[in-house]
Structures are given as C-alpha cells and as structure tokens.
Amino acid sequence: MAFAENLKAAREKKQISQYELAELVCVNQTSIARFELGQKFPNVLLGVQIAKALGTTAEQLVDGPTE
C-alpha cells in the first residue's frame, strides 16, 4: 500500500484537501479518498496528473521519496 500512503503524505505536505486535489485533476473527492485508502488505484495518466498537481513524480508516489 505504498502508493496510498505516499499519496496522502504528498497531499498533506502540499497542504491541500482531498477535495482541492480532486478539483485539480478533474475527479471527485471520493476517488481521491479511495486512492488514499488503497481501495482503488488511478490509471497511469491520472497518476501522472496527480503527481504533477502535488509537485512530485508518479515514480515517487509509487516508490516513495528518495533520500
């Protein structure tokens, strides 16, 4: 469940709500909540959009930040 945890951490670091992130990537807040709970995963294109909106990369959302 690294993606779910990394997504939530990146969103909180950016200090935006699930709703705000959802608006930025044109999905509903419920989808973001499900991604963060590990119940659902975005397709590749949406994953890249989410990463850009959070100022990170899709790779970092999947693998975690590099030290």
Establish how many alpha carbons lie within 13 A of residue 62's alpha carbon, considering only the half-sphere containing its beta carbon.
9
**Alpha-carbon span 6 to 26, nearest angstrom:** 20
Q: 48-58 pLDDT, tens per residue?
A: 999 999 999 99
Cβ count within 10 A of residue 30: 11
- Architecture of the CATH domain 2-63: Orthogonal Bundle (1.10)
Banded pLDDT at 45 (limits 50, 70, 90): very high
Confidence of residue 1 (pLDDT cuts 50, 70, 90): low
So where are the chain's domains?
2-63
Q: What is the pLDDT of residues 5-24, one digit of tens each?
A: 999 999 999 999 999 999 99
The Cα–Cα gap between 36 and 64 comes to 14
Cβ contacts of residue 22 below 8 Å, gap of 6+?
Answer: 28, 29, 31, 32
62 neighbors 6 (Cβ within 8 angstroms):
yes
